[in-house]
Amino acid sequence: MSDLVADLLAGKHSALARVITKIENRSTGYREIISDLHQHTGTADVIGVTGSPGAGKSTLVDKVAATYRERGQTVGVIAIDPSSPFSGGAVLGDRIRMASNAGDMDMFFRSMSARGSLGGLSTATTDAVTALDAFGKDKIIVETVGAGQNEVDIVRTADTVAVLVPPGSGDDVQMLKAGILEIGDVFVVNKADLDGADRTVQQLREMLQGQSGRPDSGHHGATELAADHGDAPADDADDVDDESETWDPPIVETVANRGEGVEDFLNALADHGEYLDRTGRREGQARERFAAEIRTLLREDANELLVGELDRRGGIEQYVDAVIERHTDPYTVVDEVLAPLRECLDERRD
């Protein structure tokens, strides 16, 4: 075990910050660090917060974190911020966002930049959650700036996903049909003091009624959705018991900037956590997450190996030239590049 890992496990926030920096930058040795930390994880509650820009996610997360701290619980927040095209850094910054918790050492906040590619950030977010969990944080909140498919993949790392919707915008509610509806465990109409809040709640309720009645209602229980994304074997669907208890996502109204509705929101999160424990689905979703993580890492590592092989052969451009000239075709190129790997695997089978 490295000194850095030992310091993190000893509760030193400076070590935690250094580890997450290594994770975000994919610095040398970060994989070994995550491997060492893994055995110390499994105790934190992980909450994902997503929704359309302008829904008030940051304000609500600030109030939620402050309330958890008032209860004596430690908190870690990972905010997925838009990246600067110039520096690659998170534009919104670490200190600006959590005004209610400034100076509190048991409230750890970190912005992580998308750096132009949210896809790779999904793995980094999972690793950062591992670091916070191993550190001993009671509550870990993962907040995304928006609600696109890549950001949906990021919040899949959470035990419970909250989806925020601003009032008065039918377009925002309709947007949920694109995939977010299926992953939400709790829905929040924030800024509920504004005109249109009641209509937004009604629209959400009507949409959720069309989703209710599934044995595994909620983002991790929907095995068929995970299978569609290649994150869980389709055979797992056979394990679903049609008579098992269902989860019907509640709709909570909040006015985050005044702290109104925050307790109701926390109660809804707690109810979902109890549901996961009571039904045994917490273990099931952990299995789905680890299966997805293994598949993702296999894809990433295999891609790096193949890029290296292409470079060794002189780069991809010569193959593109040959395809353009009709001397070969993409399938033949792929077969040629993969031939050594296939031969190696065939030898191991023998």
Taking each helix axis from N to C end, the angle separating 30-38 and 13-25, rounded to the nearest 10 degrees, works out to: 130
Q: Are residues 265 and 335 in the same domain?
A: no
Determine the angle formed by the axes of helices 262-279 and 281-312, rounding to 10 degrees: 90
User: Which residue's entry shows tokens 């896809």?
Assistant: 119
Structure tokens at 77: 């927040």
pLDDT (0 to 100) of residue 113: 74
At residue 55, the pLDDT reads: 83
197 and 307 in a single domain? The answer is no
Question: What pLDDT, on a 0 to 100 scale, did the predictor assign at position 101?
Answer: 61
Is residue 157 within 8 Å of 126, Cβ to Cβ? yes
Residue 97 lies in a domain: yes
Query: Do 167 and 51 fall into the same domain?
Result: yes
Place of tokens 């031939």: 339
Sign, Cα dihedral of 145, 97, 169, 249: positive
The predicted structure's pLDDT at residue 84: 44
- Which pLDDT score, from 0 to 100, does residue 98 have? 54
- Percent helix, strand and coil across the chain, each to the nearest 5: 55, 15, 30
- C-alpha distances out from residue 183 to 20, 41, 212, 220, 297, Å: 26, 24, 13, 7, 23
Please indicate, yes or no, whether residues 48 and 185 belong to a single structural domain of this protein: yes
Domain membership of residue 230 (yes or no) is: no
What CATH number is given to the structural domain containing 177? 3.40.50.300
pLDDT of residue 93: 47
> 239 lies in a domain?
no
Q: Is residue 223 part of a domain?
A: no
DSSP, residue by residue, 14-52: HHHHHHHHHHHHT-TTHHHHHHHHHTT-S-SEEEEEEES
Is residue 218 situated within a structural domain? no
Contact residues for 322 (Cβ-Cβ < 8 A; gap 6+) = 328, 333
- Please list the pLDDT of the chain residue by residue as tens digits (350 residues): 799 999 999 999 999 999 999 998 889 999 999 999 999 999 999 999 988 777 889 899 999 999 999 999 999 999 887 554 444 444 444 444 555 565 677 899 998 876 555 556 778 899 999 999 999 999 999 998 766 666 677 777 899 999 988 887 566 566 665 567 778 899 999 888 888 888 888 888 888 886 654 445 455 444 333 444 444 444 444 444 434 788 999 999 999 989 999 999 999 999 999 999 999 999 999 999 999 899 989 998 999 999 998 998 899 999 999 999 999 999 999 999 999 888 998 888 86
Distance CA 232, CA 225 (A): 9
Residues 191 and 305 in one domain: no
Considering the domain architecture, whether residues 201 and 316 belong to the same structural domain is answered as no
Residue 295 lies in a domain: no
Whole-number Cα distances in Å, 114 to 18, 83, 201: 18, 5, 31
Strand partners, 57: none
Q: Does 19 map to a domain?
A: no
Strand partners, 252: 188
CB 74 within 8 A of CB 82: no
**Are 274 and 145 part of one and the same domain?**
yes
Under 8 Å CB-to-CB from 83, ≥6 apart: which residues?
Answer: 89, 90, 91, 113, 114, 115, 116
Number of independent structural domains in the chain: 2
Distance CA 220, CA 184 (A): 9
In a domain, 26, yes or no: no
275, 304: one domain? no
pTM of the model: 0.83
* Domain identity same for 62 and 139: yes
Residues 266 and 204 in one domain: yes
* Residue 338 belongs to domain spanning: 300-348
What is residue 178's predicted lDDT score, i.e. its pLDDT?
Answer: 56
